[in-house]
C-alpha cells in the first residue's frame, strides 16, 4: 500500500490536473454500461471516481470494499452541490483492492432503517456512517474546548481510582470481587466525588478530569450504565464565582463546537419556582405552557381535593377534540409513575366546560376555572392533585411530551439556565430522609440552624445547569466542617459505625485543615447528545449498551468459567 496524497474530502477545483493516490471504502458503485462511477469514502468525506472501462478487478468491487486509486483530478461536468468535493472527480488510471467485504447487514449511509440492536451488534460498521462519525467528532471537540479553557485557568487534570470502596451515592454500585481478599469487593465509582474533595484537602485548588463513572440503574434514552463526566473542583471560590466559571466554560464549548453564542450570565431560577411553573427541576423554557395554580378548588370537590397539598392544572391547547379515552388512559400511565392515580380531564368546547368531575362545582366555580386557566375553544385542561411534588412533576412530564408533540420548541435555539436553591433533603417515604443531591452538599449558612430543628427547611448550596430540558451539570459547595458533616450523616440515618466503615478515610481527612471548596460535573454524553441534535445518548458513545444494559456486539455481560469463580471464592446460585 502506497501513501495517499489526499483524503477523500480534500480535493477541489484548484487540484484539477494533479496526479493523486486515494484510499477508501466503496460507498456506492454505479455501472452505466460504458462507464462506471465509484463513490470513495473515508472519515473526511467522499470523492467520485470515474472509470472509463471495466476490467476483472472492477467487476469484483462491491460496496465496502477497501481500495486504493491512482488517477488524475478533473472538473466534473455535473457538479454535486451537496458534497465539498462535488466540483471534481478523479479519473482512475489504476485501482487496487486492499480488502474485500461481505455484504453489510445495513446500508452504510446517514439514514438507515436497521433495528438499533442490529446496529449495535455491528457497531464497527454503524460507526462508518458519516452521521455517527460526526457525533464522535463533536464529542472530541467538546473535550478539546474543555481542556483548553480549564488549563488556561491553571486547572490540573488528575486521574482518580476506578477500583474503590462501595458507598451510598444514590444508585446501586457495580461490584468487582477481589481475588486476593476473598469475599471482599471493590466498587466502580459512581463519580469521583470523594477523591476530588480529597484533592482539595491536598491543596491542588483547581482540579478537572474527563472521567468514566458507573451506576447500576434502569436505563433510558439519555442514560447509560457507564458514562463520562467532565468533573471540576475548586477551592476558595464562592458559589457565584463557581457558577460564573462553569457558564463561561459552556459558552466556550458552544462557540467552539457549533458556533452558537450563549447569552451570559445564565438565568438562575430557584428550584421552587421551577417546580411551580414547569413541573420539573430541569425545565425547557423555550416555550410557555406553564402550570396553573388551582388551589382555590380545595374548598370544593371530594375529600381527595380538600386533603390535597396542592392542585395544579395544565392546558393542552386545541387538544380537546382529539383526546379520546385511549389517549387519556395513556396520559394516566404517566400520572401513575408519579404516584397520581389519574388526571382530571376537562374539555372546553362550544363555550362550555365539559367533564364528569364538574358535578362537584357550581357555575361560578366553573367560570373561575375557565378564567384562571385562560381556556380557549377546544382546549383540554388536565388537573393533578395530591402531594405537591407528585402533582407538579406529573403535569411537568405531560408538558414535556406535548411540547415536542405540538411543535412548540423553536428550531435552532438552545435554552440554558441554572436551577438553584434545592432543598438539602427529601423524605424517603419511610419516615427518614435522603439527599436531594448527595451527602456532601453544604447547607446554606442561614439554614444551619434547621439541621437540628427541621431538616426539610434546610436548603443546599447546590445548583444544576439545565440545557434544553436536560440536566447537563450538577454541582454544589461541599461540606468542609466535620461537625456539619456528622450531622448530615446522622440525618440520613447513618450510624457512626456505618460512617466509619464507608467514609472513615474521608471523615479523617476533614480533620486536617480542609479548605472551603466546591465544583460540579457536566455529563459529557448528554452534552454531546444536545450539541449533536439527537435524542438518543447511545448515538454519541462509541460502544454503548442497549436498554437491557447489554452489549449486542460482545454479548457482555456473560457467565464466566467455574475456574474463574473458584479463583475468586464465589459461588453463583442459578435459578432453575
pLDDT in tens, 176-215: 999 999 999 999 999 999 999 999 999 999 999 999 999 9
pLDDT of 148 above 70: yes
- Determine which helix (DSSP H) or strand (DSSP E) holds 88, and give its type and residue range: strand 88-99
pLDDT in tens, 50-61: 999 889 999 999
Strands 379-386 and 310-316: antiparallel
- Partners of 466 in the β-ladder: 417, 471
CATH class, range 13-99? mainly beta
pLDDT in tens, 67-76: 999 999 999 9
Task: Report how far Cα 256 is from the mean position of its chain's Cα atoms.
Answer: 20
Considering only CA atoms, which of 89, 96, 77, 94 is closest in space to residue 18? Answer: 89
Q: What is the pLDDT of residue 477?
A: 97
- Determine which helix (DSSP H) or strand (DSSP E) holds 237, and give its type and residue range: none
Select the CATH number that applies to the domain covering 132-270+415-420+460-480+512-541 from these four: 3.20.20.370, 3.30.429.10, 3.30.930.10, 3.40.50.1360. Answer: 3.30.930.10
Residues of the chain with CATH 3.30.930.10: 132-270+415-420+460-480+512-541
Contact by Cβ (8 Å): 518, 478: yes
pLDDT in tens, 104-134: 999 999 999 999 999 999 999 999 999 999 9
Non-local (6+) Cβ contacts of 315 within 8 A are 289, 292, 373, 374, 375, 379, 380, 381, 382
Q: What is the pLDDT of residue 386?
A: 93
287-405 adopts what CATH topology?
Answer: Gyrase A; domain 2 (3.30.1360)
**Lowest mean pLDDT segment, chosen from 53-67, 297-311, 446-460:** 297-311
Residue 573: pLDDT band (50, 70, 90) is: confident
Q: Output the DSSP codes for 8-74.
A: TTT--GGGTT-EEEEEEEEEEEEE-SS-EEEEEEETTEEEEEEESS--HHHHH--TT-EEEEEEEEE
Non-local (6+) Cβ contacts of 203 within 8 A are 235, 515
pLDDT of 168 above 70: no
What are 73's three cell numbers?
A: 483530478
Q: What is the pLDDT of residue 100?
A: 97
Residue 169: pLDDT band (50, 70, 90) is: low
Whole-number percent of the chain with pLDDT over 70:
99
Contact by Cβ (8 Å): 476, 437: yes
Positive or negative, the CA dihedral 339, 344, 345, 348 is negative
Residues of the chain with CATH 3.30.1360.30: 287-405
Over the chain, what is the mean pLDDT?
A: 94
pLDDT of 7 above 90: yes
How far apart, in whole angstroms, are the C-alpha atoms of residue 437 and residue 423? 9
Contact by Cβ (8 Å): 82, 130: no
pLDDT in tens, 456-493: 999 999 999 999 999 999 999 999 999 999 999 999 99
Q: What is the pLDDT of residue 303?
A: 77
pLDDT in tens, 512-554: 999 999 999 999 999 999 999 999 999 999 999 998 899 999 9
Positive or negative, the CA dihedral 242, 244, 246, 252 is negative
Residues of the chain with CATH 2.40.50.140: 13-99
Residue 170: pLDDT band (50, 70, 90) is: low
How far apart, in whole angstroms, are the C-alpha atoms of residue 77 and residue 75? 7
pLDDT of 250 above 70: yes
Residue 300: pLDDT band (50, 70, 90) is: confident
pLDDT of 301 above 90: no
pLDDT of 576 above 70: no
Q: Output the DSSP codes for 482-546.
A: HHHHHHHHHHTT--HHHHHHHHHHHHHHTTTTPPPEEEEEEEHHHHHHHHTT-S-GGGGSSS---
Amino acid at each position: 500500500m502506497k501513501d495517499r496524497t489526499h483524503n477523500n474530502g480534500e480535493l477541489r477545483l484548484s487540484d484539477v490536473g494533479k496526479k493523486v493516490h486515494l484510499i477508501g471504502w466503496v460507498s456506492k458503485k454505479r455501472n452505466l454500461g460504458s462507464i462506471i462511477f465509484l463513490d470513495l469514502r473515508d472519515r473526511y468525506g467522499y470523492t467520485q471516481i470515474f472509470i472509463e472501462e471495466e476490467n476483472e478487478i472492477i467487476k469484483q468491487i462491491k460496496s465496502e470494499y477497501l481500495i486504493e486509486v491512482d488517477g488524475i483530478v478533473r472538473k466534473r461536468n455535473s457538479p454535486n452541490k451537496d458534497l465539498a468535493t462535488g466540483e471534481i472527480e478523479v479519473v482512475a488510471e489504476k485501482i487496487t483492492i486492499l480488502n474485500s467485504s461481505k455484504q453489510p447487514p445495513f446500508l452504510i449511509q446517514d439514514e438507515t432503517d436497521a433495528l438499533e440492536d442490529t446496529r449495535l451488534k455491528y457497531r464497527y460498521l454503524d460507526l462508518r456512517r458519516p452521521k455517527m462519525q460526526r457525533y464522535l467528532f463533536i464529542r472530541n471537540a467538546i473535550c478539546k474546548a474543555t481542556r483548553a479553557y480549564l488549563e488556561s485557568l491553571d486547572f490540573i487534570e488528575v486521574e482518580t481510582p476506578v477500583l474503590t470502596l462501595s458507598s451510598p451515592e444514590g444508585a446501586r454500585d457495580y461490584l468487582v470481587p477481589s481475588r486476593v481478599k476473598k469475599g471482599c469487593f471493590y466498587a466502580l465509582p459512581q463519580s469521583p466525588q470523594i477523591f476530588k474533595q480529597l484533592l482539595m484537602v491536598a491543596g491542588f485548588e483547581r482540579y478537572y478530569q474527563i472521567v468514566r463513572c458507573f451506576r447500576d440503574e434502569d436505563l433510558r434514552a439519555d442514560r447509560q450504565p457507564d458514562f463520562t463526566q467532565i468533573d471540576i473542583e475548586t477551592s476558595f471560590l464562592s458559589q457565584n464565582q463557581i457558577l460564573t466559571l462553569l457558564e463561561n466554560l459552556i459558552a466556550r464549548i458552544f462557540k467552539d463546537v457549533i458556533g452558537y453564542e450563549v447569552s451570559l450570565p445564565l438565568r438562575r431560577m430557584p428550584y421552587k419556582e421551577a417546580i411551580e411553573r414547569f413541573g420539573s427541576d430541569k425545565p425547557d423554557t423555550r416555550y410557555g405552557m406553564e402550570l396553573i395554580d388551582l388551589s382555590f378548588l380545595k374548598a370544593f370537590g371530594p375529600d381527595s381535593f380538600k386533603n390535597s397539598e396542592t392542585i395544579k392544572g395544565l392546558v393542552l391547547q386545541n387538544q380537546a377534540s382529539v383526546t379520546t379515552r385511549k389517549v387519556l388512559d395513556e396520559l394516566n400511565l404517566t400520572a401513575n409513575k408519579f404516584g397520581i392515580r389519574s388526571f382530571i380531564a376537562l374539555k372546553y368546547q362550544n363555550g362550555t366546560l365539559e367533564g364528569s368531575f364538574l358535578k362537584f362545582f357550581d357555575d361560578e366555580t366553573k367560570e373561575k376555572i375557565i378564567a384562571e386557566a385562560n381556556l380557549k375553544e377546544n382546549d383540554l385542561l388536565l388537573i393533578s392533585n395530591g402531594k405537591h411534588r407528585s402533582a407538579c412533576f406529573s403535569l411537568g412530564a405531560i408538558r414535556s411530551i406535548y411540547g415536542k408533540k405540538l411543535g412548540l420548541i423553536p428550531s435552532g435555539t438552545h435554552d440554558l439556565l441554572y436551577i438553584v436553591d434545592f432543598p438539602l433533603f427529601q423524605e424517603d417515604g419511610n419516615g427518614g430522609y435522603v439527599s436531594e443531591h448527595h451527602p456532601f452538599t453544604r447547607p446554606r449558612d442561614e439554614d444551619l440552624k434547621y439541621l437540628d430543628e427541621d431538616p426539610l427547611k434546610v436548603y443546599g448550596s447546590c445548583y444544576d445547569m439545565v440545557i434544553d430540558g436536560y440536566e447537563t451539570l450538577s454541582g454544589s459547595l461541599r461540606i468542609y466542617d466535620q461537625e456539619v458533616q456528622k450531622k448530615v450523616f446522622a440525618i440520613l440515618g447513618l450510624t457512626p459505625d456505618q460512617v466509619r466503615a464507608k467514609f472513615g478515610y474521608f471523615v479523617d481527612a476533614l480533620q486536617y485543615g480542609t479548605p472551603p471548596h466546591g465544583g460540579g460535573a457536566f455529563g459529557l454524553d448528554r452534552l454531546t447528545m444536545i450539541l449533536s441534535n439527537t435524542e438518543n445518548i447511545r448515538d454519541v458513545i462509541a460502544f454503548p449498551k442497549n436498554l437491557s444494559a447489554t452489549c449486542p456486539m460482545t454479548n457482555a455481560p456473560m457467565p464466566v468459567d467455574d475456574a474463574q469463580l473458584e479463583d475468586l471464592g464465589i459461588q453463583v446460585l442459578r435459578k432453575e
